[in-house]
Amino acid sequence: MIPVQGFKGAKVAVLGLGRSGLATARALQAGGAEPLLWDDSPEARAKAEAEGFACTDLTRNGAFEGVACLVTSPGIPHLYPQPNKVIARALEAGIPVDNDIGLFFRSYATPDWDDYETTPRVICVTGSNGKSTTTALIHHILEVAGRPTQMAGNIGKGVLSIDPPQDGEVVVLELSSYQTDLARHLTPDIAVFTNLSPDHLDRHNGMGGYFAAKRRLFAEGGPDRAVIGVDEVEGRYLANQMAEGPQDDRVIRISSGQKLEGFGWSVFARKGFLAEWRKGKQMASIDLRGVAGLPGAHNHQNACAAYAACRSLGIAPRLIEGAFHSFAGLPHRSQLVGERVGVRFINDSKATNVDSAAKALQAFGKIRWIAGGMGKDGGIAALQPFLGSVVKAYLIGHSARDFALQLGDTPHEICETMDRAVARAGEEAEAGEVVLLAPAAASFDQYPNFEKRGEDFTARVRALIG
Single out the residue of 95, 79, 102, 97 nearest to residue 217, CA to CA: 102
Phi, psi of 266 (to 5 degrees): -150, 155
Sequence-separated (6 or more) residues with CB below 8 Å from residue 167: 116, 117, 118, 120, 148
Q: Which amino acid is at 35?
A: P
- State how far the Cα of 321 lies from the Cα of 246, in Å rounded to an integer: 27
User: For the sheet containing 11-15, what is the strand order?
Assistant: 54-55, 34-38, 11-15, 67-72, 97-98
> Is residue 353 annotated as involved in ligand binding?
no
Q: Which amino acid is at 389?
A: S
Task: Tell me how crowded residue 270 is: count the other CB atoms within 10 A of its CB.
Answer: 15
Single out the residue of 45, 50, 46, 51 nearest to residue 29, CA to CA: 51
- State how far the Cα of 310 lies from the Cα of 312, in Å rounded to an integer: 5
> Is residue 128 annotated as involved in ligand binding?
yes
Single out the residue of 133, 157, 132 nearest to residue 327, CA to CA: 133
Q: Would you call the peptide bond into 81 cis, given omega within 30 degrees of 0 as the criterion?
A: yes
User: Please, which residues bridge with residue 368 across strands?
Assistant: 392, 435
> Is residue 129 annotated as involved in ligand binding?
yes
> Is residue 293 annotated as involved in ligand binding?
no
> Is residue 264 annotated as involved in ligand binding?
no
- State how far the Cα of 194 lies from the Cα of 186, in Å rounded to an integer: 18
> Is residue 187 annotated as involved in ligand binding?
no
User: Please, which residues bridge with residue 34 across strands?
Assistant: 11
- State how far the Cα of 395 lies from the Cα of 417, in Å rounded to an integer: 8
> Is residue 56 annotated as involved in ligand binding?
no
Sequence-separated (6 or more) residues with CB below 8 Å from residue 285: 273, 274, 275, 276
- State how far the Cα of 150 lies from the Cα of 154, in Å rounded to an integer: 13
Q: Which residues are annotated as a binding site for ATP?
A: 127-133
Known binding-site residues equal 127-133
